[in-house]
Structure 1
Amino acid sequence: MIMNERLLASLGIVGSEAKIYKALLKVHTATPFLLARAAGIKRTTAYHAAQMLARKGLVVEDATKRPRTFSIAGPERVKELVREEETGLKARVKVFKELAEELARRGAEEFYPVPRIRFVEEEKLKQFLYKETPKWHESIMERDATWWGFQDHTFIDEYGKITDWYWKRAKAPLAVKLLSNHSATERKIAYKYPRRTIKFWNKANNFVSTTWVIGDYVVMVNTRRRPFYLVEIEDATFAHGLREVFKNLWPLI
């Protein structure tokens, strides 16, 4: 029986393994010594090749005999290998599909990142403002160097010292342009910081919280009633859209 070399190669049977497999087709069952002689290769090489074929399921090893023997796997065993391959292939296809979905999700996140949202309670609010403001400042400078938004006057009432602290560090060309509701506190500091501009919006009486657009961040702060809290959203797309709203609203007020 002559076995097609291309058929064996397509099954990954080449070199010494191909020689052993073709030898077994002729002798059916043989010891490593006889296989080596039939294939014209060294005994150790023949033994290793026969074991590799056994691991692939194409050869049956009988270790109960002394010396052990190897024989060709029958048609039923080969059909069983086909079923195993089909099952394995289905499993691999499933894994590759999951991998493709994961890569697609990660790719989508790269271009459309999932917003990062943080909630800060009152007892941690002051510390959070001091800690995160430098990060916000850096993000602002990467955009249009302007701190936009609406600021409820109660923020200055409660955290005015943070404003002083910030302006001792904020360097040009950074500017702050905020809408606000009328208050004595804001009028008092109206000209204290040259690059901080506040416009009083007559229609803002019903606004009861602060909303800042600072670079890629949108920050909302409630200081009107307790408990105070802050919500930070990091989302470049969301921040860009809201920044455009304030930029276009600014000259109209």
Structure 2
Amino acid sequence: MLTLKTVENIAILKQLGFTEPEVDIYLSLLQLGGSQASAVAKSTGVKRTTVYHTLKQMASKGYVHVYFRKNKRYFYAQKPNRLAALYSKKLDNLYAILPQLQSLEKKEMQTPGLRFIETLDELKEFYTGILYEYRDKQYVIIGSAQGWEGADSEWFHQYRIDRARNNIHTQLILTDESKLLNPEDPSLLRHVHYLSEQYSFKSTIDIFDDKILIVSSELSSMAVLIEIPVMRDVFKAVFDVMWNIVG
């Protein structure tokens, strides 16, 4: 039987708010096709009393459904596509009340400065936030595909896809060697210009509306986030000049 309990599956479900026992039970139910609590306990190695208590909690969250047959209780995993729809609905509800929440937010001057992103997980968390912050918007990039993807090529490849799904457009000025890794795919919503071979570097600079992110293997940290408006303006002006020259 194909195992569903992979590191990636477990990590994603935990990010959605599943506890570890809930992950085990949900994946087990998907494979069992529905079962009584005793069979789930046997499949997961979790005590039956714990399984039953957890199943009741999961039912209240919409993760499982309960059916009765011949006075016996059977549990079925929520279908994966419906689970996705459940979280999509929750996210839509959050977006619906964002204006009210933002109106309650204390308005104060943000102190500009530098933030050092020390770990790969922190960097991924930052980019995941960008997917929502920049939905239906755009930002610009100067960089190297090799330097940017080097830490986790699979994750950053998926990030490109997720970025396009959120209708985020990007303009990129990349090193010539980036052609080796940079996919020519219109669906990724990118407009790319390449530098000549004489200009080679490993760093990447993401220029947003209010901040700059510098990602480099040569830094003591994974990346540096610069939230200084005047510096952002300078970098954006440099990008515009380069874009016009290279294009």
TM-score between the two structures when normalised by the length of structure 2: 0.46
Structure possessing the higher radius of gyration over alpha carbons? 1
TM-score between the two structures when normalised by the length of structure 1: 0.45
